[in-house]
């Protein structure tokens, strides 16, 4: 049943395979809900999506809620992107985030994600003729909290509810009810702003821990995209008018199946997923994100970066990382950022542009 449902949504699922999951094709067969791994924020997009040790704006509620602990007052952020323009013209992604500091308690945040998979065509059992159309979508609502452990370190948590609507009842012969699933998950996070030196920050998150996801048949349930992400942020230059930060993240999908191809619960997969493939294959599945951000007078920023995964499609044909570029402007309490992914002409991620806004108050 589930395979038939998935085949109905080939366009959407191919999009999800390429939207930012550490496992790529591996992730399509091994995990569900991988839309949770789409990287929000044009700033992050310009820096190769390496942000777990940055997390110093409202997008921290996604990247590392521990970073919220060092933020004061309030901030609102939003991003829009036409997703995978090389694959389809009706896929889009929306992200809205908010955070607010409560003195002596900590900082609270929230973000909402909506991913449209566009219009799908329903066909009959006897042939390819179109009967009607329907729309597929996914959304996620997360609540965040971050608090200081001491002057330099903090912890954070996310609690999330997410829904995946793939097809309505009747879209396939097996579907007597909607092909949809509503699930929950949580994240834990850590940030340390002084590792050996106050110029080096360490961040880590363990995200999307929750029950397995089932659309129609519980026996074919998939695990959520539980992911470990660790990163560094080095302040290479810090002056009155000029600053330069260099960032790097490494992440790995922590999902596993037993000998009967059943999803292993996330609390077991945290340990077993490290050795269910040969060691070199496990290493090749690690996604590497890196970038740099230069600011002039805290007004104008230029960003470059890239990402690379040896076992997946996150690399160019020549084997080099996929490059990213971006820029940003800050004026008073407002900010605007642009991010761009470049790549091989036929790669679905090529020419992906992100636009995002920030407002502090």
Segments making up each domain of the chain, as ranges: 2-360
- Residue 162: φ, ψ to 5°: -135, 150
CA atoms within 13 Å, Cβ hemisphere of 156: 38
Q: What is the pLDDT of residue 150?
A: 96
Q: Which of 29-43, 167-181, 296-310 has the highest mean pLDDT?
A: 296-310
Fold topology of 2-360? Porin (2.40.160)
Distance CA 181, CA 273 (A): 24
Distance CA 358, CA 327 (A): 14
Three-class DSSP category at 30: helix
pLDDT interval class at 180 (50, 70, 90) = confident
User: Whole-prediction pTM value?
Assistant: 0.88
The per-residue pLDDT for range 99-152, each reduced to its tens digit, is 999 999 999 999 999 999 888 777 656 656 667 788 889 999 999 999 999 999
The per-residue pLDDT for range 6-30, each reduced to its tens digit, is 444 443 344 444 444 333 333 444 7
Distance CA 140, CA 294 (A): 32
Three-class DSSP category at 272: helix
CA atoms within 13 Å, Cβ hemisphere of 168: 9
């Amino acid at each position: 049943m589930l395979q038939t449902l998935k085949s109905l949504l080939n366009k959407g699922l191919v999009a999800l395979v390429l939207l930012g999951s550490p496992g790529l094709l591996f992730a399509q067969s091994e995990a569900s809900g991988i839309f949770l791994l789409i990287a929000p924020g044009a700033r992050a997009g310009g820096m190769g999506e390496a942000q777990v040790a940055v997390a110093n704006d409202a997008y921290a509620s996604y990247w590392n809620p521990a970073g919220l602990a060092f933020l004061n007052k309030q901030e609102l952020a939003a991003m829009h992107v036409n997703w995978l323009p090389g694959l389809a013209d009706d896929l889009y992604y929306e992200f809205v985030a908010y955070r607010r500091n409560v003195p002596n308690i900590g900082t609270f945040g929230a973000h909402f994600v909506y991913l449209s998979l566009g219009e799908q065509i329903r066909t009959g059992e006897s042939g390819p003729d179109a009967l009607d159309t329907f729309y597929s979508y996914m959304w996620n609502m997360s609540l965040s909290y971050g608090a200081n452990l001491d002057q330099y370190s903090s912890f954070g948590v996310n609690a999330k509810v997410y829904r995946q609507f793939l097809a309505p009842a009747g879209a396939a012969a097996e579907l007597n009810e909607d092909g949809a699933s509503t699930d929950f998950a949580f994240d834990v996070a850590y940030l340390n702003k002084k590792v050996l030196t106050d110029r080096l920050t360490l961040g880590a998150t363990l995200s999307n821990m929750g029950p397995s996801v089932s659309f129609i048949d519980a026996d074919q349930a998939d695990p959520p995209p539980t992911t470990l992400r660790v990163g560094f942020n080095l302040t290479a230059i810090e002056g009155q008018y000029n600053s330069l930060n260099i960032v790097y993240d490494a992440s790995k999908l922590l999902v596993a199946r037993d000998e009967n191809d059943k999803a292993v619960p996330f609390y077991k997969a945290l340990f077993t997923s490290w050795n269910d493939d040969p060691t070199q294959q496990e290493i090749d599945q690690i996604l590497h994100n890196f970038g740099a951000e230069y600011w002039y007078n805290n007004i104008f920023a230029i960003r470059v970066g890239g990402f690379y995964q040896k076992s997946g499609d996150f690399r160019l044909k020549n084997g080099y990382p996929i490059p990213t570029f971006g820029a940003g402007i800050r004026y008073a309490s407002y900010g605007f950022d642009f991010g761009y992914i470049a790549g091989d002409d036929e790669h679905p991620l090529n020419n992906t542009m992100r636009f995002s806004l920030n407002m502090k108050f």
